[in-house]
Amino acid sequence: MKVFKFLGAPLLSSLFFFFGAALCLFSFCEIVNNNSAYLIEWEVFSICSVDWTLPVIFDSTSLIFSCLVCIISGSVSLFMISYMSGEVFMRRFTLLIVGFVSSMNLLIFVPSFVTILLGWDGLGIVSFALVIYYQNKKSLAAGMLTVLANRIGDALLILAICFLVNWGEWRFGFGLMGDYSLVICLLVVIGAMTKSAQIPFSAWLPAAMAAPTPVSALVHSSTLVTAGVYMVIRFYSSLIENSEVLYFLSKIGGLTMMMAGLSACFEVDMKKIIALSTLSQLGLMMFTIGIGYPVIAVFHLFTHALFKALLFLCAGSIIHFTVDTQDGRILGSVNKLLPFSSACLVLSSVVLCGMPFLSGFYSKDLILEGAFSGTNGVVEIVVILVGASLSLVYSSRILLIVFGQSYGGSMGGFGVESVYEIVSIMTLAFGAIFGGWVLQEVWVMVSGFDLVGSLGKVIIVVVTFGGSLYIFLGFLGKSMLNKVFSSSVEWFMSSMWFMGLISGSLVAGIGLKGGAVMYKHLDQGWMEILGGQGIFGGFKKGISISSFVQGVGLFSFIRVFLIVLASAMVLMILLL
């Protein structure tokens, strides 16, 4: 039993790698074979001319996505052997990870609103258990905020299912037109925005950093936050019939990208910088869907999953060896402490910036070209260009944390990562370097695109590397930056445009206050009087009367029998 407990996580990761490799081979065969797709459907029951079925779809998008989820989950499982080595309840943590990955795979392969609720709600429930895993005040508050924000999306999705009764069909692989189509599309999009932490539901994503780092690597790369983007991509065939919804989605995505990028430029916590970079990339994906390029958005979703998981694992290795230190003002000279993890952290940051011929370059370049070639407004283009250039700024902040001067005198030394960490990081590093190129070469749908003119290419290059000015300003000193940004502006930027007060305290406050009011007036009021104590009191009086009747004697029984018989006869006469 002890041997199984020790080998549980390696066996789990090996299982994930096996399924990931099998899905990878099968998906590549399907992509080569003219992007064919298979839909398997089981009918559960049929009532009132409405069929409730369990469809399972196998196409290029679902298979590649599941392949990446399995490979990343396997790498995270290997990494957590070393990171969670002192954990007492390792088996419980492993089971939660298995439930998390299984819920995501269920969501990927099931194109039905009714059945997808199993994976959708499974992600929310398991994520709540993982965020509150350390069971301290901070993690409990973050878990409550996470579960309340996700419950809003669940309620909107259930409302969309109710409206879909008009069609008698809950699959979303084809366009829906008719009554309530605009309402259904809005409900689905806003519900997906809660899962992907778009404005104004952005507060829960940085708060979820209270979870262990392996959980953060899964949440921010290929599971929880990508579920909303994946839902919108699958539902795009209906969204395209309602241009107002796509217009709304593009504006929200651009604002989220700008807000998260500016907030990351003023953040000092290393994990929160990476979390805000995830939020910025999610905004970029939503913007891409809104301007009419869902295939490019899913391509960026795949490449982002690879390098963001690598970024989190490298940051987790540094945090683990520096005794849970995340503050960038204390960290420094990490490259001397952990050369391998620091080098891979630099690699993932460079990929995040969109360095040419790495994974992030292929998808990011296509998105910027799509923004130029589309019919977008000038303000929207400027917002996207600024948001894209900020990726190099907050990546530079991460690099300055790694190579900057150390202010913690006791942190000098040299560390060596375990074999599990090296294997997991190397696997993701290979994907971060070659993943985008492989997908673009094999996946026909993203191998070609309408190129913009030479001026557009120059602007894209300037945007990609324009954030490097931050490094030069950093060398000039903070005094110049302090003159440009006053304390109030810095406070506004670092607070995520007060999204914490809007979607954090407001949602949590309304939920908790509403729960207290319902507990007072329902649980202790109506439900207590009409149920619970009321039923108990009624039974108590009935038993007392029955006991009195039965305990008097024979004449009492005869009287009761005659009264009941007379009442029955009168009732029969009245009815006749």
Element containing residue 230 per DSSP (H, E): helix 224-234
**Token pair for 521:** 């007036």
Higher pLDDT, 88 or 96: 96
Range among 35-49, 360-374, 487-501 with highest mean pLDDT value: 360-374
Higher pLDDT, 460 or 434: 434
Residues with Cβ < 8 Å from 257, sequence gap 6 or more? Answer: 280, 281, 283, 284, 287, 383, 384, 387, 388
Contact criterion met (CB below 8 Å) for 327 and 269: yes
Q: What is the pLDDT of residues 449-485, one digit of tens each?
A: 555 555 666 666 666 666 666 665 555 555 455 555 5
Q: Does residue 175 surpass a pLDDT of 60?
A: yes
Q: What share of the chain is helix, strand, coil (3-state, %, to 5)?
A: 75, 5, 20
How far is residue 483 from each of residues 259, 459, 472, 491, measured CA to CA in Å? 21, 28, 16, 14
Higher pLDDT, 346 or 48: 346
When pLDDT is cut at 50, 70 and 90, the band that residue 153 belongs to is confident
How far is residue 278 from each of residues 163, 200, 348, 518, measured CA to CA in Å? 33, 16, 13, 37
**Token pair for 484:** 């440009």
Over residues 435-458, the mean pLDDT reads 64
Residues with Cβ < 8 Å from 539, sequence gap 6 or more? Answer: none
Q: What percent of the chain is modeled with pLDDT above 90? A: 0
Furthest CA-CA distance within the chain: 109
- What is the residue whose two structure tokens read 């796509």? 246
Q: What is the mean pLDDT of the chain?
A: 76
Contact criterion met (CB below 8 Å) for 211 and 141: no
Estimate to the nearest angstrom the gap between the alpha carbon of 562 and the chain centroid. Answer: 71
Q: How far apart are CA 221 and CA 125, in angstroms?
A: 18
Higher pLDDT, 8 or 478: 8
Q: What is the pLDDT of residues 287-331, one digit of tens each?
A: 988 888 888 888 888 888 888 888 888 888 888 777 777 777 777
Residue 483: per-residue pLDDT: 52
When pLDDT is cut at 50, 70 and 90, the band that residue 349 belongs to is confident
Residue 205: per-residue pLDDT: 85
Residues with Cβ < 8 Å from 119, sequence gap 6 or more? Answer: 103, 104, 105, 106, 107, 108, 110, 227
When pLDDT is cut at 50, 70 and 90, the band that residue 336 belongs to is confident
Residue 493: per-residue pLDDT: 63
The pTM of this model reads 0.80
When pLDDT is cut at 50, 70 and 90, the band that residue 207 belongs to is confident
Q: How far apart are CA 451 and CA 469, in angstroms?
A: 27
Residue 470: per-residue pLDDT: 60
Estimate to the nearest angstrom the gap between the alpha carbon of 290 and the chain centroid. Answer: 19
CB atoms within 10 A of CB 448: 9
